[in-house]
Amino acid sequence: MGMIMKTHLPVRWTCCVMLLIAAALCSCASSGSRIEAPAGADAEGAGAPPTQMITEQLILAEKQQRERRANQDLSHLVVAEPPPYKIGPGDILAIVVWDHPELAGHGMIASSINVDAGTPGAPAPGFVVDYEGKVQFPFAGSLRLSGLTEEQARNLLVSRLARYIAQPNVTLRVQSYRSNRIYIDGEVREPGLQAINDIPMTLLEALNRAGGLQPTADQSRIALERDKKRYDIDLRDLVQKGVNPGNVLLLNGDVVRVHSRDESKVFVSGEVVSPKALTMHNGRLSLNEALGESGGISPLTGDARQVYVVRKAPEGTRIFQLDARQTGALAMAEAFELHPKDLVYVAASPLANWHRSLSLLFPGALTQAVGAARP
Protein backbone atom coordinates (compact mmCIF):
# COMPACT_ATOMS: atom_id res chain seq x y z
CA MET A 1 0.00 0.00 0.00
CA GLY A 2 2.85 2.28 0.82
CA MET A 3 4.32 1.60 -2.59
CA ILE A 4 1.05 2.46 -4.27
CA MET A 5 0.85 5.83 -2.49
CA LYS A 6 4.39 6.64 -3.53
CA THR A 7 3.57 5.74 -7.09
CA HIS A 8 0.32 7.70 -7.52
CA LEU A 9 1.05 10.80 -5.42
CA PRO A 10 3.12 12.56 -8.12
CA VAL A 11 0.46 11.76 -10.70
CA ARG A 12 -2.30 13.33 -8.61
CA TRP A 13 -0.15 16.35 -7.92
CA THR A 14 0.60 16.65 -11.60
CA CYS A 15 -3.10 16.51 -12.49
CA CYS A 16 -3.95 19.23 -9.96
CA VAL A 17 -1.17 21.46 -11.22
CA MET A 18 -2.20 20.90 -14.81
CA LEU A 19 -5.79 21.86 -14.00
CA LEU A 20 -4.61 25.04 -12.30
CA ILE A 21 -2.37 25.77 -15.27
CA ALA A 22 -5.25 25.33 -17.69
CA ALA A 23 -7.54 27.59 -15.65
CA ALA A 24 -4.87 30.27 -15.33
CA LEU A 25 -4.04 30.04 -19.02
CA CYS A 26 -7.68 30.44 -20.03
CA SER A 27 -8.05 33.40 -17.70
CA CYS A 28 -4.93 35.13 -19.03
CA ALA A 29 -5.80 34.38 -22.63
CA SER A 30 -9.25 35.89 -22.22
CA SER A 31 -8.13 38.98 -20.32
CA GLY A 32 -4.70 39.58 -21.90
CA SER A 33 -2.61 42.54 -20.69
CA ARG A 34 -4.16 45.47 -22.53
CA ILE A 35 -4.67 48.83 -20.91
CA GLU A 36 -8.40 48.93 -20.23
CA ALA A 37 -10.73 51.21 -18.32
CA PRO A 38 -11.30 50.08 -14.72
CA ALA A 39 -14.60 48.70 -13.56
CA GLY A 40 -17.16 51.42 -13.01
CA ALA A 41 -15.85 53.73 -15.72
CA ASP A 42 -18.51 55.15 -17.98
CA ALA A 43 -18.73 54.67 -21.72
CA GLU A 44 -16.82 57.89 -22.40
CA GLY A 45 -13.73 56.63 -20.60
CA ALA A 46 -13.86 58.86 -17.52
CA GLY A 47 -11.80 56.37 -15.53
CA ALA A 48 -8.89 55.91 -17.96
CA PRO A 49 -7.86 57.85 -21.05
CA PRO A 50 -8.71 56.21 -24.38
CA THR A 51 -6.02 54.42 -26.34
CA GLN A 52 -5.26 55.70 -29.84
CA MET A 53 -3.74 53.37 -32.40
CA ILE A 54 -0.64 54.72 -34.13
CA THR A 55 -1.57 55.06 -37.78
CA GLU A 56 -0.36 57.13 -40.70
CA GLN A 57 -3.27 59.53 -40.16
CA LEU A 58 -2.31 60.02 -36.50
CA ILE A 59 1.34 60.59 -37.43
CA LEU A 60 0.31 63.24 -39.97
CA ALA A 61 -1.91 64.99 -37.41
CA GLU A 62 0.90 64.96 -34.83
CA LYS A 63 3.32 66.39 -37.39
CA GLN A 64 0.95 69.24 -38.27
CA GLN A 65 0.41 70.04 -34.59
CA ARG A 66 4.16 70.03 -33.98
CA GLU A 67 4.72 72.39 -36.90
CA ARG A 68 2.09 74.79 -35.56
CA ARG A 69 3.88 74.89 -32.22
CA ALA A 70 7.23 75.43 -33.95
CA ASN A 71 5.95 78.26 -36.14
CA GLN A 72 6.38 80.87 -33.42
CA ASP A 73 6.68 84.36 -34.84
CA LEU A 74 10.36 85.27 -34.51
CA SER A 75 10.45 87.72 -37.39
CA HIS A 76 10.80 90.76 -35.13
CA LEU A 77 13.86 89.15 -33.51
CA VAL A 78 15.70 88.76 -36.82
CA VAL A 79 17.50 91.85 -38.17
CA ALA A 80 19.36 91.67 -41.47
CA GLU A 81 21.53 94.75 -40.77
CA PRO A 82 21.99 95.48 -37.05
CA PRO A 83 21.85 99.21 -36.22
CA PRO A 84 24.96 100.99 -34.86
CA TYR A 85 25.49 101.24 -31.13
CA LYS A 86 23.64 104.04 -29.36
CA ILE A 87 24.98 105.81 -26.29
CA GLY A 88 23.15 105.17 -23.02
CA PRO A 89 23.27 106.16 -19.34
CA GLY A 90 26.38 104.87 -17.61
CA ASP A 91 28.58 104.84 -20.68
CA ILE A 92 31.96 106.54 -20.45
CA LEU A 93 32.97 108.70 -23.40
CA ALA A 94 36.44 109.70 -24.51
CA ILE A 95 36.27 113.22 -26.03
CA VAL A 96 39.26 114.98 -27.58
CA VAL A 97 39.20 118.48 -29.07
CA TRP A 98 42.31 118.76 -31.19
CA ASP A 99 44.58 121.80 -30.66
CA HIS A 100 42.77 122.44 -27.36
CA PRO A 101 44.42 120.23 -24.74
CA GLU A 102 42.98 122.38 -21.96
CA LEU A 103 39.58 120.77 -22.58
CA ALA A 104 40.85 117.21 -22.11
CA GLY A 105 41.21 117.36 -18.34
CA HIS A 106 37.60 118.10 -17.48
CA GLY A 107 36.30 114.55 -17.79
CA MET A 108 34.76 112.83 -14.81
CA ILE A 109 36.33 109.71 -13.32
CA ALA A 110 33.96 106.73 -13.27
CA SER A 111 33.58 105.40 -9.76
CA SER A 112 32.05 102.03 -10.60
CA ILE A 113 33.58 98.97 -12.17
CA ASN A 114 34.54 99.29 -15.81
CA VAL A 115 33.05 96.33 -17.61
CA ASP A 116 35.49 96.38 -20.51
CA ALA A 117 38.62 97.24 -18.54
CA GLY A 118 41.33 94.63 -18.27
CA THR A 119 41.81 95.20 -14.53
CA PRO A 120 38.68 94.58 -12.45
CA GLY A 121 37.65 97.65 -10.50
CA ALA A 122 39.97 100.00 -12.40
CA PRO A 123 38.24 103.39 -12.89
CA ALA A 124 38.15 104.69 -16.45
CA PRO A 125 38.76 108.40 -17.06
CA GLY A 126 36.30 110.06 -19.37
CA PHE A 127 32.97 111.79 -19.55
CA VAL A 128 30.25 109.76 -17.85
CA VAL A 129 26.73 109.85 -19.27
CA ASP A 130 24.48 110.48 -16.26
CA TYR A 131 21.15 108.80 -15.50
CA GLU A 132 19.34 111.43 -17.58
CA GLY A 133 21.53 110.67 -20.59
CA LYS A 134 23.41 113.98 -20.40
CA VAL A 135 27.09 114.93 -20.49
CA GLN A 136 28.65 118.15 -19.21
CA PHE A 137 31.37 119.52 -21.51
CA PRO A 138 33.25 122.85 -21.34
CA PHE A 139 31.74 125.60 -23.53
CA ALA A 140 29.10 123.16 -24.85
CA GLY A 141 27.24 122.92 -21.55
CA SER A 142 24.80 120.07 -20.96
CA LEU A 143 24.40 117.73 -23.91
CA ARG A 144 21.77 115.00 -24.14
CA LEU A 145 23.64 112.20 -25.86
CA SER A 146 21.56 109.20 -24.80
CA GLY A 147 20.07 107.44 -27.81
CA LEU A 148 22.59 108.92 -30.26
CA THR A 149 25.30 107.13 -32.18
CA GLU A 150 28.93 108.19 -31.83
CA GLU A 151 28.75 110.14 -35.09
CA GLN A 152 25.54 111.91 -34.10
CA ALA A 153 26.97 112.80 -30.68
CA ARG A 154 30.17 114.16 -32.26
CA ASN A 155 28.20 116.32 -34.71
CA LEU A 156 26.12 117.73 -31.86
CA LEU A 157 29.24 118.59 -29.86
CA VAL A 158 30.90 120.21 -32.89
CA SER A 159 27.85 122.41 -33.47
CA ARG A 160 27.95 123.61 -29.86
CA LEU A 161 31.70 124.26 -29.78
CA ALA A 162 31.57 126.11 -33.13
CA ARG A 163 30.09 129.08 -31.27
CA TYR A 164 33.39 129.53 -29.36
CA ILE A 165 36.04 127.65 -31.40
CA ALA A 166 36.64 128.11 -35.09
CA GLN A 167 36.22 124.86 -36.99
CA PRO A 168 36.61 122.52 -34.01
CA ASN A 169 38.07 119.13 -34.75
CA VAL A 170 36.48 116.67 -32.30
CA THR A 171 37.00 112.93 -31.72
CA LEU A 172 34.29 111.19 -29.68
CA ARG A 173 34.06 107.51 -28.97
CA VAL A 174 32.64 105.22 -26.30
CA GLN A 175 35.47 104.21 -24.01
CA SER A 176 33.49 101.91 -21.74
CA TYR A 177 30.18 100.22 -22.54
CA ARG A 178 28.07 100.02 -19.38
CA SER A 179 24.50 100.94 -20.32
CA ASN A 180 23.27 97.81 -22.12
CA ARG A 181 23.70 94.26 -20.93
CA ILE A 182 22.28 90.80 -21.50
CA TYR A 183 22.43 87.72 -19.28
CA ILE A 184 23.16 84.21 -20.54
CA ASP A 185 22.74 81.09 -18.42
CA GLY A 186 22.46 77.34 -18.71
CA GLU A 187 24.62 74.93 -20.66
CA VAL A 188 27.36 77.38 -21.71
CA ARG A 189 30.97 77.37 -20.57
CA GLU A 190 31.00 80.90 -19.09
CA PRO A 191 27.51 82.02 -18.02
CA GLY A 192 26.92 85.53 -16.73
CA LEU A 193 26.47 89.14 -17.75
CA GLN A 194 27.67 90.40 -21.11
CA ALA A 195 27.96 94.05 -22.09
CA ILE A 196 26.58 95.15 -25.45
CA ASN A 197 29.24 97.13 -27.32
CA ASP A 198 29.81 98.36 -30.86
CA ILE A 199 29.82 94.76 -32.11
CA PRO A 200 26.14 93.77 -32.58
CA MET A 201 25.03 91.42 -29.82
CA THR A 202 23.43 88.63 -31.80
CA LEU A 203 22.52 85.22 -30.43
CA LEU A 204 25.60 83.58 -31.94
CA GLU A 205 27.81 86.40 -30.66
CA ALA A 206 26.45 85.94 -27.14
CA LEU A 207 26.99 82.18 -27.27
CA ASN A 208 30.52 82.71 -28.58
CA ARG A 209 31.38 85.19 -25.80
CA ALA A 210 30.06 82.68 -23.28
CA GLY A 211 32.64 80.16 -24.47
CA GLY A 212 30.28 78.14 -26.65
CA LEU A 213 27.78 75.43 -25.83
CA GLN A 214 28.49 72.58 -23.46
CA PRO A 215 28.35 69.02 -24.85
CA THR A 216 25.16 68.53 -22.83
CA ALA A 217 23.42 71.56 -24.37
CA ASP A 218 20.17 71.08 -26.24
CA GLN A 219 20.34 73.22 -29.37
CA SER A 220 16.61 72.83 -29.88
CA ARG A 221 15.70 74.43 -26.53
CA ILE A 222 17.18 77.91 -26.23
CA ALA A 223 14.83 80.23 -24.35
CA LEU A 224 14.90 84.01 -24.85
CA GLU A 225 12.99 86.15 -22.33
CA ARG A 226 12.22 89.73 -23.29
CA ASP A 227 9.63 92.13 -21.85
CA LYS A 228 7.83 89.36 -19.93
CA LYS A 229 7.61 87.25 -23.10
CA ARG A 230 9.31 83.94 -23.76
CA TYR A 231 10.58 82.79 -27.15
CA ASP A 232 11.69 79.20 -27.75
CA ILE A 233 14.47 79.06 -30.34
CA ASP A 234 15.54 75.90 -32.16
CA LEU A 235 18.89 76.51 -33.87
CA ARG A 236 18.52 73.50 -36.17
CA ASP A 237 15.00 74.50 -37.14
CA LEU A 238 16.12 78.06 -37.92
CA VAL A 239 18.86 76.80 -40.20
CA GLN A 240 16.44 74.46 -41.97
CA LYS A 241 14.11 77.40 -42.57
CA GLY A 242 16.97 79.43 -44.05
CA VAL A 243 17.22 81.86 -41.12
CA ASN A 244 20.73 82.77 -39.98
CA PRO A 245 20.91 82.57 -36.15
CA GLY A 246 23.54 85.30 -36.39
CA ASN A 247 20.76 87.72 -37.34
CA VAL A 248 18.81 87.18 -34.10
CA LEU A 249 19.57 90.49 -32.39
CA LEU A 250 19.58 90.69 -28.58
CA LEU A 251 18.54 93.84 -26.73
CA ASN A 252 19.28 95.33 -23.34
CA GLY A 253 17.80 93.23 -20.53
CA ASP A 254 17.40 90.04 -22.55
CA VAL A 255 17.88 86.76 -20.71
CA VAL A 256 19.09 83.74 -22.70
CA ARG A 257 18.97 80.26 -21.20
CA VAL A 258 20.33 77.16 -22.91
CA HIS A 259 18.57 74.06 -21.60
CA SER A 260 20.26 70.74 -20.97
CA ARG A 261 19.51 67.60 -22.93
CA ASP A 262 19.04 65.84 -19.59
CA GLU A 263 15.84 67.85 -19.12
CA SER A 264 14.31 66.17 -22.20
CA LYS A 265 14.43 62.49 -21.40
CA VAL A 266 12.23 59.63 -22.60
CA PHE A 267 11.63 56.62 -20.36
CA VAL A 268 11.44 53.10 -21.79
CA SER A 269 10.17 50.32 -19.53
CA GLY A 270 8.28 47.05 -19.65
CA GLU A 271 9.27 44.05 -21.73
CA VAL A 272 12.36 45.42 -23.44
CA VAL A 273 15.88 44.03 -23.29
CA SER A 274 17.29 47.03 -21.40
CA PRO A 275 14.81 49.43 -19.77
CA LYS A 276 16.37 52.86 -19.40
CA ALA A 277 15.95 56.64 -19.58
CA LEU A 278 17.03 57.97 -22.97
CA THR A 279 18.30 61.44 -23.80
CA MET A 280 16.77 63.07 -26.84
CA HIS A 281 19.05 64.11 -29.70
CA ASN A 282 18.58 67.90 -29.76
CA GLY A 283 14.84 67.51 -29.27
CA ARG A 284 14.41 64.58 -31.67
CA LEU A 285 13.76 60.93 -30.83
CA SER A 286 11.45 58.54 -32.66
CA LEU A 287 9.65 55.55 -31.20
CA ASN A 288 11.79 53.25 -33.32
CA GLU A 289 14.99 54.83 -31.99
CA ALA A 290 13.78 54.55 -28.40
CA LEU A 291 13.06 50.84 -28.80
CA GLY A 292 16.33 50.27 -30.63
CA GLU A 293 18.47 52.00 -27.98
CA SER A 294 16.71 49.86 -25.35
CA GLY A 295 17.66 46.64 -27.09
CA GLY A 296 14.29 46.10 -28.74
CA ILE A 297 11.24 44.16 -27.58
CA SER A 298 12.11 41.14 -25.48
CA PRO A 299 11.68 38.06 -27.69
CA LEU A 300 10.78 35.89 -24.68
CA THR A 301 8.27 37.97 -22.75
CA GLY A 302 7.32 41.00 -24.88
CA ASP A 303 4.06 41.36 -26.78
CA ALA A 304 4.80 43.18 -30.04
CA ARG A 305 1.10 43.96 -30.45
CA GLN A 306 1.07 46.10 -27.33
CA VAL A 307 3.67 48.87 -27.54
CA TYR A 308 2.33 51.90 -25.69
CA VAL A 309 3.39 55.54 -25.48
CA VAL A 310 2.04 57.43 -22.46
CA ARG A 311 2.17 61.20 -22.79
CA LYS A 312 1.22 63.99 -20.38
CA ALA A 313 -0.43 66.67 -22.52
CA PRO A 314 -2.09 69.97 -21.51
CA GLU A 315 -5.50 68.46 -22.26
CA GLY A 316 -4.75 65.37 -20.17
CA THR A 317 -2.97 62.04 -20.38
CA ARG A 318 -2.83 60.49 -23.85
CA ILE A 319 -2.04 56.86 -24.63
CA PHE A 320 -0.89 55.65 -28.06
CA GLN A 321 -0.58 52.00 -29.09
CA LEU A 322 1.49 50.44 -31.85
CA ASP A 323 0.96 46.92 -33.20
CA ALA A 324 4.51 46.12 -34.24
CA ARG A 325 3.42 42.92 -35.98
CA GLN A 326 1.51 44.78 -38.68
CA THR A 327 2.96 45.51 -42.08
CA GLY A 328 4.66 48.90 -42.13
CA ALA A 329 4.77 49.15 -38.33
CA LEU A 330 8.51 49.86 -38.30
CA ALA A 331 8.06 52.74 -40.74
CA MET A 332 5.32 54.22 -38.56
CA ALA A 333 7.48 53.78 -35.45
CA GLU A 334 10.29 55.69 -37.17
CA ALA A 335 7.92 58.52 -38.18
CA PHE A 336 6.27 58.77 -34.74
CA GLU A 337 8.28 61.39 -32.82
CA LEU A 338 8.33 61.31 -29.04
CA HIS A 339 7.98 64.27 -26.70
CA PRO A 340 10.08 65.00 -23.61
CA LYS A 341 8.99 62.96 -20.58
CA ASP A 342 7.15 60.39 -22.73
CA LEU A 343 6.91 56.86 -21.33
CA VAL A 344 7.33 53.97 -23.76
CA TYR A 345 5.93 50.76 -22.31
CA VAL A 346 5.93 47.28 -23.86
CA ALA A 347 3.36 44.94 -22.33
CA ALA A 348 4.05 41.31 -21.50
CA SER A 349 2.67 38.50 -23.62
CA PRO A 350 -0.23 36.40 -22.25
CA LEU A 351 2.11 33.44 -21.82
CA ALA A 352 4.56 35.52 -19.79
CA ASN A 353 1.72 36.83 -17.60
CA TRP A 354 0.47 33.29 -17.06
CA HIS A 355 3.90 32.04 -16.07
CA ARG A 356 4.41 34.90 -13.62
CA SER A 357 0.95 34.48 -12.07
CA LEU A 358 1.54 30.79 -11.59
CA SER A 359 4.96 31.42 -10.08
CA LEU A 360 3.41 33.77 -7.54
CA LEU A 361 0.60 31.36 -6.61
CA PHE A 362 2.70 28.18 -6.53
CA PRO A 363 6.43 28.91 -6.40
CA GLY A 364 8.25 26.09 -8.21
CA ALA A 365 5.00 24.35 -9.18
CA LEU A 366 5.71 24.36 -12.88
CA THR A 367 9.17 22.92 -12.42
CA GLN A 368 7.87 20.17 -10.13
CA ALA A 369 5.03 19.33 -12.50
CA VAL A 370 7.35 18.98 -15.45
CA GLY A 371 9.77 16.93 -13.40
CA ALA A 372 6.98 14.65 -12.12
CA ALA A 373 5.61 14.09 -15.59
CA ARG A 374 8.95 12.79 -16.80
CA PRO A 375 9.38 9.01 -16.61
CATH number (domain holding residue 109): 3.30.1950.10
pLDDT score at 49: 82
> How far apart are alpha carbons 52 and 44 in whole angstroms?
14
Which amino acid does the sequence have at 66? R
In a domain, 274, yes or no: yes
Residues 246 and 268 placed together within one structural domain of the fold = no
Does 234 fall in a domain? yes
Instruction: State the pairing for strand pair 51-53/316-322.
Output: parallel
* Residue 100 structural domain: 92-176
Same-domain check for residues 96 and 168: yes
Spatial contact of 259 and 340, defined as CB atoms under 8 Å apart? no
Kindly state whether residues 268 and 247 are assigned to the same domain. no
Is 123 part of a structural domain of the chain?
A: yes
Instruction: Look at the chain and report how many structural domains it folds into.
Output: 3
35 falls within a domain? no
User: Would 33 be classed as within a structural domain?
Assistant: no
Judgement on whether residues 225 and 207 belong to the same structural domain of the protein: yes
| Residue 218 counted as domain residue | yes
3-state secondary structure of 5: helix
Any domain includes 268: yes
- Domain of 341, CATH number, reads 3.10.560.10
**CA dist 31 → 152, 266, 271, 348 (Å):** 82, 29, 18, 12
**What pLDDT, on the 0 to 100 scale, is given for residue 241?**
82
Is there a single domain that holds both residue 271 and residue 332? yes
Spatial distance between the Cα atoms of 52 and 332, rounded to a whole number of angstroms: 14
Task: Per residue of the chain (375 residues), give pLDDT as tens.
Answer: 444 444 444 545 455 555 555 555 555 444 444 554 433 344 444 567 889 999 999 999 988 887 776 666 777 888 888 899 999 999 999 999 988 887 765 554 444 434 444 444 444 578 999 999 999 998 888 999 999 999 999 999 999 999 988 889 999 999 999 999 999 999 999 999 999 999 999 999 999 999 999 998 998 889 999 988 999 898 888 888 888 888 999 999 999 999 998 888 899 999 999 999 998 887 889 999 999 999 999 999 999 999 999 999 888 899 999 999 988 898 999 999 999 899 999 999 888 887 777 777 766 655 555 555 555
Query: Helix 350-361 crosses helix 365-373 at what angle (to 10 degrees)?
Result: 100
Asked if 342 and 272 sit in the same domain, the reply is yes
251 and 308 share a domain? no
pLDDT at 36: 45
pLDDT at residue 45, rounded to an integer:
45
- The answer to the question of residue 121 being in a domain is yes
Same domain membership, residue 253 and residue 209: yes
Both 205 and 254 in one domain: the answer is: yes
Would you state the pLDDT for residue 375? 54
Shared-domain flag, residues 252 and 273: no
* End position of a domain, from candidates 176, 208, 241: 176
Task: Kindly state whether residues 107 and 163 are assigned to the same domain.
Answer: yes
